[in-house]
Amino acid sequence: GNSVTQMEGPVTLSEEAFLTINCTYTATGYPSLFWYVQYPGEGLQLLLKATKADDKGSNKGFEATYRKETTSFHLEKGSVQVSDSAVYFCALTYNTDKLIFGTGTRLQVFP
């Protein structure tokens, strides 16, 4: 079946450090891929998405590229801020309205 695997957290970084959160997927076809972010005490919100291979999603300095060859959609940011501290979820959908989420990766950024 379709699934998403994320790196275990927490990821702890100092402000202005480079961020990578790994995400790989298993799917029977070519899914659409998403990153959602959950700030403390809030619901999830879409951060970025890519709907076909080689697409790059970007938002708020975050980027992720849909890599069909490696079935990956890693999240990156060049310089993190304390305000980026949150839980990040990778997700996919394929031929359905349902999103399949990864387990989430907690990011903690310290000044």
- Please state, as a whole number, how many other Cβ atoms lie within 10 Å of the Cβ of residue 58: 14
Give, as ranges, the residues between 61 and 100 that touch another protein (CB under 8 A): 89, 93, 96-99
| Near another protein by CB under 8 A: residue from 24, 101, 106, 108 | 101
Q: Which is nearer to another protein, 97 or 111 (CB)?
A: 97
CB contact burial 92-108 (16+ within 10 A = b; e otherwise)? bbeeeeeebbbebbebe
Does position 24 bind another protein by CB under 8 A? no
Q: How far is CA 1 from the centre of its chain?
A: 20
Beta carbon of residue 13, minimum distance to another protein (angstroms, whole number): 23
Does position 43 bind another protein by CB under 8 A? yes
Does position 104 bind another protein by CB under 8 A? yes
Does position 45 bind another protein by CB under 8 A? yes
Per-residue CA distances from 75 to 19, 43, 56, 87, 95 (Å): 8, 20, 10, 12, 24
Does position 32 bind another protein by CB under 8 A? yes
